[in-house]
Amino acid sequence: MTDRKPDHPIETLFVDRWSPRAFDGSQMPEADLMTVLEAARWAPSAFNIQPWRFVHARRSDRDWQKLVDLLNPFNRDWAQHASALVYLFSDTEVDGRDGKPNRPSGTHSFDAGSAWAHAALQATALGYHAHAMAGILMEEISEQLGVPERFKPEIAIAIGRLGDGSQLSEDLREREIPSHRKSLGEIAFAGTWS
């Protein structure tokens, strides 16, 4: 691992989390995957509407290959070696109350991102790594997974134990290290944007 150091004291879990592409292809116990999804379930959301939904499979599940095939070819090449795949969806509507119709949700993607972060951190705490992918077959996902129209596919998440980077293409091997972050001074401004 590279030497990643935060600018201010934080829990090591945040620095230890990163998104590799080399997975060892080992089996993941169902209990571990449910723990990762349970952490995601506890994410915060606007008005507590909890718009996230998950479709998942482990390597040993009958739907594994179907989920692998819904990744774009670039991601499919390396993510097929993960232990689990999770597709994250967000509900684009807020259910109406007191006879009012449903209304569009303005924060569904943001809230789903919160669930992803919780899942990634829980995976790290269990000794796994999670890698989110936007490179998914958007058109096919909803139909092949039976997703209601109001739910938007957001990302797929590959989860597994770190594998041997030599299985990756040369280009990806060079990138298979935890990345650094911009300094806090570059992204956080007191009072006004500066």
pLDDT digits (tens, 9 = 90+) for 153-166: 999 999 999 988 88
Helical segments of the chain, H only: 12-16, 30-41, 64-69, 73-79, 108-125, 138-145, 170-175, 184-187
Domains of the chain with bracketed CATH:
21-165 (3.40.109.10)
Span 23-57, pLDDT tens digits: 999 999 999 999 999 999 999 999 999 999 999 99
Contact 94, 49 (CB under 8 A): yes
Cβ atoms of 150 and 90 closer than 8 Å: no
CA 88, CA 113: separation in Å to the nearest integer?
9
